[in-house]
Structure 1
Amino acid sequence: MAETEITDTTRIPAVGYGTDGKTPGNRLTRTQFERDAPKGNEVLIDVLFCGVCHSDVHLLADEWKLTLYPCVPGHEIVGRVKAIAADVSKFKVGDVVGVGCMIDSCRSCEPCLEGEANHCSGPHGPTLTYNGYLYPNGSTHNTFGGYASNIVVREDFVLRIPEGMDLAAAAPLLCPGVAVYGPLKRFNFKPGAKIGIAGIGGPGHIAIMIAKAMGAEVTAITTHESKREAALKLGATNVIVSTNPEDMKEHAKSLDHILATIPNAYDVAPYLGLLKRKATMTAMALLGPYSEPLNNLSLAAQGLSLAGSMIGSLPDSQEVLDFCAEHGILPQVEVIKIQDVNEAIERLRKADVRFRFVIDLSSLQNC
């Protein structure tokens, strides 16, 4: 039975984009939208913290031509259960929980049945936490995310935050954390394997710490000499500045795997030159073409593999939370008020953050 009965549709305070119906270019502004009370096995969560993801920047500006307006971003959500509907069995009021990139899926396709709702092959794919269809059949859109006072989610898509974990720092584990954990886990490498992490931003800095905790010898790959010291402090053994030809030459064919976390278009060929024969590079974060066409000879000559990855599965999402709690891994975050989110978005465009913005949603009441 529900511990708290909520029967109304409630107007929820939030910060959104395009809320006046205009095209991209507006600043995030205060808005309201209607959120239904939890029903069935849904959980009502008061949002405490929400990370600012690089995908928020792309979607807010409609750079992928996918944005549904109005848009309320946020899919790195840490909160506290406020109410549960009658069929909820996994959570109770007061539990500290997390919500990542998905809040539902078709639940009947092969990927969903195998625990990979992130690869849902239903008509509209997984139900995204924001900028998605509210129901998997596409009958209603759009979903509104964590830049808001609360969110309603099916309990199967709610994650437990380990006891004692810093709640603000936990938020990025729900998107970039699991996004890097999944590929690193699939590499299935032995201790001492030489793993390259390309791009030392939000996802990359987490990947360095996780890969090291998994037993890898980590090489950070960055275009910025200024990130060398930070990468070493995070646990990297080596740092390659990819704009330095001597660095690239010195480390040619030295890595067992590369995980690239670079969100903007780049030339993949030079990175492939760092791999050993028959090694693998996984590109996550980039959701578009590379800056230069890839000559397949770059792969075929050494039997290399180039893979893609996007958001993580629900099992991996819980695993990464537990893994990071066990190993004392926390993303480095800058906590901001919601009033400063537009400045944060602009700073993120310029890569001016070490390494992740997280919004304290208690500030929404003063917005």
Structure 2
Amino acid sequence: MVHVPRRDGPPSVHHVAARAGVSLATVSNVLNHPERVADATAARVRDAIAELGYTPNRNARALVSGTTRSIGLVVMSLRNSLFSDMVNGAQLEARHRGHTLLIASSEDDLEAQGDHLAYLESTRVSGILLATMTESRDQVELTRRHGHPVVYVNYEPSEVDACSVVVDNEQAGYLATTHLIERGCRRIGFVSARPDLQPVHRRRAGVLRAIAEHPGVVLVDVDAGDIDPPGGTDAGARIARMPAAERPDGVLGVTDLLAMAVVTELRAAGLRVPEDIPVSGCDHNSVAWGGAVPLTSVTMHGAEMGQAAVGLLLDELREPPEEHVHRTIVIGSELVARESTLGRAAAAEAARLRTPADPRLREG
């Protein structure tokens, strides 16, 4: 007669072992190393699991192994669709690879980011994806010393040797500026702020490269003070008040939220967009697509970044530390021209000509 332990709650591994007539070690091997167990014995254990409705205690297993099959992701903000796309891509890839994703948003607060990293460590995640706008060296080095690999997303570190996935922000600035120049603009107003942020700095480099390639085109810097909409509102009002001879005849916002705020202020001042001043954004933020004038922007491929980052992290976890070579994946950008630079009729025609079969094109 097989002794079955008393049931005072959910079935445990002890109940499974008793029902299958095997040791606890055998049940553990079936759950974690099935190749070590004879097929007939493993089948008996699986039958017992099914009959009892046993679910492995992931927390207990984490205490034994030191890790879980979970990945942490800390993003700068979920208000920008770049980061929510990143979450979706990472979540789908993690699930495909047999992992779960734990998500936290720092809201551009470095202290909060450190708190989130510490919390994710406490849950014994296998590793962490960090979508930040700053180097975060001290936090990352501490996390790695505790045995948790970190992969940067949307940021290429210069002070930390780590894997990273970035979109080509210089290309994004270059494409948007070139598009404005091709629309006939010769005074490009660059509405920007926070040059300390790597994406901002690199987009500006692309703007300058495009202008350098076109003699006679000049840059008009417009400091927005911040990269959020209030900065764009102030910048747009200042542009509208400029004398016509000094006013930019084309505007690029370093973020879509800045660009949409500029569009609103220009229209409120009686200036037409794009007939008087074409306006483009630069980060394809869907939050900014609800205005009266659909915004031209540049794709950021957030989902692809999240997917690639999960792959880099799992590669690092699989490889011995002494053999792992950190690498950076750079994802290209594409311009999506809409009414804010083309006008309504031309934008409608451009949208009609886009083909869903081309994965580079995004419909907004």
- When the two structures are superposed, what TM-score results if normalisation uses the length of structure 2? 0.33
Higher helix share: 2
- When the two structures are superposed, what TM-score results if normalisation uses the length of structure 1? 0.33
**Higher Cα Rg, which structure:** 2
Higher strand share: 1
